[in-house]
Structure 1
Amino acid sequence: MKIFITYMLFISISFSLEFETDIGDCNLFFDEKTNLYIQDYIIFIQNDINKLVKEFGQVKKFPFEIFITNNINKFKKLAKGPMPEWGVGIAKKNPSRIVIKGTKLGKISYNRLYEILSHELNHIYLFRTPNYNILPKWFIEGFASYWADELTVTKKIHISSALLEKKQFSLETLKSFNSFNRIHASLAYAQSAVAIYTIIHFYGKNKLIEIIQSNKSKDTFETHFYEITSDSMLELTYKYEKYLNKNFKWMFLLKSSNILFTCLPLILVIGYFIKKRRNKLILEQWSKEELEISNNEEPI
């Protein structure tokens, strides 16, 4: 019945393929206009999941679906539930499903679509890990953003600007992302990714894997994190803020306007010394020419 309903929802989508992955069979549904890239999608999905399993461990295997559509009505029906206006993709735990706006509907490039696909595949993977239910939102979204390599230079500058203006988010405030506007959401995702980099930097990647895969009995993320790292959430917050300031505090200078503004005094000083030296050379040349003329003149 579920399969029938799924096909009815996608009645105007002409193409679907089923293939194996390391976490279960994948049913990929796509519009006619995207079918030229279908083989690329399949290879990308298989490779991305294979890499995830190799780096972070095996999870339960069962089928999942991926829908890529340029039809807004189908996107809303399959996504099921409220979506922020900036939302381009979503992963659902039950049914195990990814729904992504196509390049036309989402107004994104194919490179960006692959990033979103990798982000959502990470969610499908994380849904199946033993500790998913106690993981905080910043960890879930941060791990997906880290995996999809979404921490671009632009987002790093965004973090830096927030630090400069003291408008950065604390880990405690990163509990829900859908209520954010587009700009705040971008900052929230970027800072969440930094939190994962912080864990790797201070505790090592093996500890990150243990946080995800450990079967130790626990009630909260705080106790789970302490059992694995011997650090409290307060200590993690301190290290997170330290990592933010050390690695992103001055990145706002990479903005072209800021570069010009920052370097202008230096440019003026360099220009002054160049002009001064040039004038000195001209005066020396004149003195030399006058001396030569004086030496060549015959006495009267």
Structure 2
Amino acid sequence: MMKSLVLFLCLLPIFSVAATWESVESTHFRVYYQEGTADPTSILQIAEDFYAELPQLTSRMPAGMIDIWICDTQKEFQAFVHAPIQDWAVGCAFPLSRRIVIQNPKYIALAKLQLVQVLRHEIAHVLFGQCTRKAVKEIPLWFIEGIAIYFAEEWVPSRHGTLLKHIFSKSILPLQELTRGFPRSQAGADLAYAESQDAVRWLVEVKGRDALFALIAELHAGNNFDTAFKAVVGWDLATFDVRWRESLAERYRWASLFSNSYFLWGGLGGLALLGYLVRRNRRQRHLNKLAQQEDTVDTFFRT
């Protein structure tokens, strides 16, 4: 790895002085950071390990470094993004310019997220965007985010809970409403991310991982997303949307019991009663055994 000192003058109005940045490079990544903000070596390791996991994407990318900027403060992060972004966001990717901006890892931890997942998610955006750059403007946002979550292998328990809540309340958003943007509120965005994750995961379940990469290959060739999706998956987007939403109740039927208070408390009560009966039966058998032993003369005392 090569280490150098970079003097970066922020031209954004919130900075009145120059900020001194250091940079560290690996084969495919360059990390910019300020002293004491993060461990660049571990970040490069995470990035390179993830890069090696996706040759189906990286083999279709033009050569070039991916820059990762690690901001010290939230204010600095928002300035570097230089675009409208939610206050709760911790990372942002610019796939076509191969640039990633993330929050200070300490802030990411305070947001109850893992640095590894954030890095993998944003890198997935860059890899996918570079691979499909000829058609990237036509790809629905739900698919872009779902792909990033799928490749990053993210697991956010609260996101799963959000999906279940909206399944049971029958308030799932059609994917068509998540084509060009997500809700601005954190609650709405959480649902959008949860739906995106589940939709792509279900696509892989019913059509296979090979179909996903076949679709990416079509996009890499510059084909229209709608046309490529129908050719590879066999459904148009509207049909996929309907079938995916229909699958939710069936796939998460097991969880519906816990969403109904009558079933929940009834089930808990039934388990408690069953436990009591088992314990009582076990105790009665033990007492019967002791009684039999008392009626039997030990052979040691026989003459």
| TM-score, normalising length: structure 2 | 0.78
- Match in the other structure for 2:169: 165
Distance in 2 between the 1:111 and 1:80 partners?
A: 23
Q: Within 5 A, what are the aligned runs for 1:195-214?
A: 195-214=199-218
Identity %: 22
- Return the offset for 1:148: 1.6
Give 1:16's match in structure 2, choosing from 23, 32, 46.
23
Q: Within 5 A, what are the aligned runs for 1:16-95?
A: 16-21=23-28, 26-35=29-38, 37-54=39-56, 57-93=59-95, 95=97
Q: List per-residue Cα deviations over 1:51-81 (Å, max 9, x = no partner).
A: 1224674212223321112223321221011
- Return the offset for 1:182: 1.4
Letter of the 1:142 partner, please give it.
G
Pick closer, same or farther for the CA change 1:160–1:179 going to 2, 3 Å. Answer: closer
Letter of the 1:88 partner, please give it.
V
Distance in 1 between the 2:169 and 2:7 partners?
A: 47
Check conservation: 1:143, 1:196, Cα contact below 8 A. yes
Q: Within 5 A, what are the aligned runs for 1:142-221?
A: 142-214=146-218, 218-219=223-224, 221=225
What is the DSSP-based 3-state SS (H/G/I as helix, E as strand, rest coil) of the residue aligned with 1:250?
helix
What is the DSSP-based 3-state SS (H/G/I as helix, E as strand, rest coil) of the residue aligned with 1:27?
strand
Distance in 2 between the 1:258 and 1:156 partners?
A: 22
Pick closer, same or farther for the CA change 1:226–1:275 going to 2, 3 Å. Answer: closer
Pick closer, same or farther for the CA change 1:274–1:51 going to 2, 3 Å. Answer: closer
Identify unmatched segments of 5+ residues in structure 2. Answer: 1-5, 297-303
Pick closer, same or farther for the CA change 1:175–1:283 going to 2, 3 Å. Answer: same
Letter of the 1:63 partner, please give it.
M
Identify unmatched segments of 5+ residues in structure 1. Answer: 293-300
| TM-score, normalising length: structure 1 | 0.78
Pick closer, same or farther for the CA change 1:195–1:56 going to 2, 3 Å. Answer: farther
Distance in 2 between the 1:95 and 1:217 partners?
A: 18
Distance in 1 between the 2:42 and 2:262 partners?
A: 40
- Return the offset for 1:176: 4.6
Check conservation: 2:7, 2:19, Cα contact below 8 A. no
Q: Which protein, 1 or 2, shows the higher relative CO under an 8 Å CA cutoff with sep ≥ 6? A: 1
Pick closer, same or farther for the CA change 1:282–1:73 going to 2, 3 Å. Answer: closer
- Return the offset for 1:280: 6.5
